[in-house]
């Protein structure tokens, strides 16, 4: 890790408050990117709040949210993000075949129109920063306008997570390997 991983004893009161808020929230621990963001406590606090929302409280079902996160992780080759969300994706109902296809940069075998719309929309946004009118309309039919807004939020937030993990070289836990 390129940036110092602070122990509780090394943290300022502001840093400690942000870490303790993460631990007492839905996550129950300090998530990997927050280990870097703690060096800017207000960024960490705000990112942590946004992250809790996009991870747990959007209008997207867990499988669709995890699908989008995995597209981001693969696009940026964010090993820790993939490691964490591949497990969550499986728990949410994504098949191992879907994960393997995304890891190999192939189109995954998705059964629902909503899942296909999320995948196609996410890939388009990650590759170009945009969605065609037809793709936007398709995603809106499948997810509703709120769902598309939430999806864009998931993609943006997890891109920030991927950048943080990659730039600060936050690696996998000891003994773990990434398929990416």
Q: Where are the alpha helices (DSSP H) in 109-177?
A: 113-128, 133-167
Digit-coded pLDDT (tens) for 59-76: 999 999 999 999 999 999
Task: Tell me which residue of 12, 35, 24, 9 sits closest to 171, measured CA to CA.
Answer: 35
Tell me the average pLDDT of the chain: 96
The residue ranges of every structural domain in the chain are 8-56, 62-166
Residue 158 has a pLDDT of 98
Q: Which helix (H) or strand (E) holds 82?
A: helix 79-91
Centre a 10 Å sphere on the Cβ of residue 95 and count the other Cβ atoms it contains. Answer: 14
What does the chain come to in residues?
180
Using alpha carbons, list the distances in angstroms from residue 139 to 44, 113, 144, 145: 31, 9, 7, 8
CATH superfamily of 62-166: AhpD-like (1.20.1290.10)
**Do the Cβ atoms of 95 and 86 come closer than 8 Å?**
no
Digit-coded pLDDT (tens) for 89-136: 999 999 999 999 999 999 999 999 999 999 999 999 999 999 999 999
């Amino acid at each position: 890790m390129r940036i110092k991983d602070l122990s509780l004893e090394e943290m300022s009161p502001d840093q400690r408050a942000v870490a303790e808020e993460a631990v007492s929230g839905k996550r129950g621990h300090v998530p990997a990117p927050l280990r870097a963001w703690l060096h800017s406590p207000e960024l960490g606090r705000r990112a942590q709040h946004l992250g809790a929302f996009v991870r747990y409280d959007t209008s997207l079902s867990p499988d669709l949210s995890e699908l989008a996160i995995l597209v981001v992780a693969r696009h940026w080759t964010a090993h820790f993000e993939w490691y964490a969300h591949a497990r969550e994706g499986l728990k949410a109902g994504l098949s191992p075949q879907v994960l393997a296809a995304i890891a190999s940069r192939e189109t995954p075998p998705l059964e629902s129109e909503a899942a296909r719309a999320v995948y196609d929309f996410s890939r388009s946004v990650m590759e170009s920063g945009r969605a065609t009118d037809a793709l936007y309309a398709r995603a809106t039919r499948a997810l509703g306008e709120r769902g598309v807004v939430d999806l864009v939020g998931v993609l943006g937030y997890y891109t920030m997570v991927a950048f943080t993990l990659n730039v600060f070289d936050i690696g996998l836990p000891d003994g773990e390997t990434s398929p990416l």
